[in-house]
Amino acid sequence: MEFTKMHGLGNDFLVFYGEKALPEDASYLAQKWCNRYFGVGADGLVFILPSEQADFKMRIINSDGTEAEQCGNAIRCVCKYVYEKGYVLRERVTIETLGAGVQQAVLQTKAGAVSSVRIDMGVPILGGRDIPTTLDVCPVLDWPIEAAGQRFSVTAVSMGNPHCIIYVDDPAAFDLSTWGPRLEVHPLFPQKTNVEFATITSFDRVEMRVWERGAGTTLACGTGACAALVASVLHGYTNRAAWIGLPGGDLYVEWDEADNHVYMSGPAETVFEGSVDR
C-alpha cells in the first residue's frame, strides 16, 4: 500500500488514497505502522475515501488502533494532498468526517502548492450530555474533578470529538505524561477525552499542550486548539479570535459570532512518500 507521510504542526499521519472503504484490519495496521521503532512512525493513519456528500471522506485511525471522529490537523493534510495531487482543481474543498459531517475548506495556494488551509470546524458542542460527559449541564465550565488524589477544574467542549481544557500556570512545565492518561479515562467522560493544558498570555494568544485520546502526547491538535479558544471565550479570557500556540507551531482560530462556527487556519506539510506491506 502506498502512503504519503504528512504533518500539521508536527501532528503526523500516514495518508492513504485509493481505498474504496476503510480496510477491515485498519486498527491492526495503525498499531503496526504507527510504531516509531518497529514501523514507519505516526500519530495515526488517514484514509481518503469516496463520499456521496462531499468531495472526499476522511477516516482517522489513532496509533492505538481506535478511530477518531475528527482531527483538525489531519483534515488540513487531506486538503493539501487532494489539491497537490490534482484530484481537485479548485481552492474550495469539502471533506466528510464522522464527527462534524461535511466540512468546508478554503485553500491558500501558490504555484500549485498549498501554503495554508482554513477549515470550517462547525458549531462547538457545549451540552454536557452531547460532548459527551456524564453531566446534564450546559456549558461545563470549571467543573471540579479528582484524579489520583489531584483536584482539577475542567471545561468540556466537543468539536466533533470530546475535549477537556484545564488552565495551568505553565503548560511547558506541566507533567503531561502523568496526568494526561489519567484524565483521558476519567469517569466523567464515557467515551474518554482529549486533554488540553492551557495558559492565557494575552487576549489574542493561548499557549497549550495536549494529550490526545488514542495517541498520547502530540505536538499539535487542531480540534483541541478550537476547543481551547471556545473555552477561553466562555471564560472571558480571550477575544473570539486568537492565536493558539502549540509545541509544533501556531494555529489561528476564530469563533464567529454571526454563524456560531469555529474556523481554524494553519499549514500542512508533506514529508515523504513510501509503501508498506500488510
Q: What is the pLDDT of residue 254?
A: 98
pLDDT band at 263 (very low <50, low <70, confident <90, very high): very high
**Whole-number mean pLDDT of the chain?**
97
pLDDT tens-digit readout, 60-105: 999 999 999 999 999 999 999 999 999 999 999 999 999 999 999 9
Pick the catalytic residue: 77, 79, 221, 226?
221
Q: Is the model's pLDDT at 253 over the cut of 90?
A: yes
Residue 71 annotated to the active site: yes
Q: Is the model's pLDDT at 54 over the cut of 90?
A: yes
Mean pLDDT across 37-49: 97
Q: Is the model's pLDDT at 217 over the cut of 90?
A: yes
Q: From 170, 189, 265, select the one nearest 225 (Cα to Cα).
A: 265
Q: What is the pLDDT of residue 269?
A: 97
Q: What is the pLDDT of residue 107?
A: 98
Q: Which residues contact 160 (CB under 8 A, 6 or more apart)?
A: 69, 70, 97, 98, 99, 100, 121, 122, 125, 223
pTM of the model: 0.94
How far, in Å, CA of 86 to CA of 101, rounded?
A: 24
User: Phi first, then psi: what are they for 226, rounded to 5°?
Assistant: -65, -45
C-alpha cell at 146: 479528582
Residue 221 annotated to the active site: yes
pLDDT band at 256 (very low <50, low <70, confident <90, very high): very high
Q: What is the pLDDT of residue 198?
A: 98
Amino acid at 32: K
pLDDT tens-digit readout, 146-190: 999 999 999 999 999 999 999 999 999 999 999 999 999 999 999
Pick the catalytic residue: 34, 71, 79, 164?
71
Q: What is the pLDDT of residue 138?
A: 97
Q: What is the pLDDT of residue 29?
A: 98
Q: What percent of the chain has pLDDT over 90?
A: 99
Q: What is the pLDDT of residue 278?
A: 85
